[in-house]
Chain A
Amino acid sequence: MALDIVRADSVGQAAGVLAGDDGARFLAGGTFLVRAITAGDVSIRTVVLSDGLGLDRIALGDPIEIGSAVTMAQVLGEPHLGFLHPVADSIGGPAVRAMATIGGNLFAQSPYGDFAVALLALGASVVSEGADGEASQDLEAFLAEGPPRGRIVRAVRFATPAAGAFRYLKITRKHPHGASVLSIAAVLPVPGGTLAGVRVAYGAMSPRPMRARAVEAALEGRPLDAAAIEAATKVAADGTMPEDDPQASAWYRRAVLPVHLRRLLSGEEG
């Protein structure tokens, strides 16, 4: 009931508090965490604020580095991240976008986590800090292993995709903004006329954002033509484990996924 508030001076110090206390959580935008506190999650006894730790910066080098406390609104305010604007713009209304952070989005469960879906397609790595110092991990592994206890995500890093190679679409029932029926992000580089280094990721098609390996394999090495798109569409739902929720049933998600994947790949949508 009583909640301790900790303002740390450094990420290392904050990570120390988290490591030493089961009831401690790192508070970024709070769009999930505060909701949990208000709903009566009594396991949360301490929050460590992300404020003032310098995690809210975007570095436009190569790779691009986005601090974990950067909000969707900040991404939208950065012209050099134009290809990510449709992603940030699809997450909640203006107030949610002004609060929700990139770091928090990595911890989201279906139907949320749309930014993480985009990062998965971009092949991002996650930089985190704990008692043993800083470490970098592939986002896919990070998502698979679950949130690291006592570690704080500092930033995500990814290489700028080739011009026009990044595609994103999100299907919602509520317009213009809503939770995902599903979302798809893809990086489709065609350096020499054929696809090379394809990455496709889904949101709301499993409990956490996932990569569509079968689709990637069906596309890799081929020109992005009707035959390749057909082959990818056939295996669209491979490995997916969608859930039933108020947005859509698992059945519906599986049924419409190939349609939206085809539209994304053929450029009709997204």
Chain B
Amino acid sequence: MSSTPSLIAIGNDSLRESFGKALSALADEFPKVVVLDADLAGGTGVHHFRKSHPERLLQFGIAEQNMMAAAGGLAATGLVPVVTTFAVFCLRAIEQARLSLAYARRNAKIVASHPGLDVGPDGGSAQALEDLAAFRAIPGMTVISPADPIEMAKATRAMLEFEGPVYMRTGRSPARRVFNDDHVFEIGKGQIVRDGSDLTIVACGVELARALDAAEELEKENISARVVNMATIKPIDGALLKRCAEETGAFVTAEDHNIYGGLGSAVAESLAASHPCPIEFVGVKDVFGASGEPEELAEQFGLTGPHIARAARAVLERKRKA
């Protein structure tokens, strides 16, 4: 188990900035990496890479479908393409990702900024709440959603070291720090970031910090909540889930995504096969997002710590009755 993290106040670093800086720092070590941009370098964080390695930043203009399939071509020549745009525009090019990246089993990476309600004021049009589900359904696609800037940087390295197609979510808004520098990130491995015995909260992305808020709130009511960071949504860490099921017997999942098809579904599918137990799903309840500040939206759509705590009480009720 990794060290219990304290919530290090609100950091000023967004996940996208952390990703962009990490990519730039890793560029010399991974000389085959090229970065693909569709007129959003300032938004996705890859302006850092453009500054340090301008000759390896390929500009595709506002044309995501061409960019996605061209990544397949670049990979076919032995380069390692990193496709960057907003999560919602990755959905636009998903068929290209399916055929030209995953089906052809290319070593290509897709890094999507601006996922979920975390997008904020741009509104429902721009808030991808379906991307984890959609990319998870593509055979051979690894799907990652790191939780904080430190994990983001480590996941960027892991993604480049990994052979095969990867879809990774970053984030728009300043992200809360959860981990210390000694945090270890491994694709396919979840980790217990706070131990507990009554139930397990499994979270990814911005929801991890909120899950820790919930655990704190629950502790005051003498509810002992375990919190698991599940940054890899696919392949899901089934062994860890099974162990948590055996040890705690109830789950809450939390994600900035539709409750259908994302982390919650992945956890449920895994537990259904290994150790069925009650689960409550925290996420956006099959509706589109809206304009507003990310924290306001999280409150309105039920993603904050208190909402996770409420789901925890509900699942404990079910566990008791079971």
Q: Do A and B come from one complex?
A: no
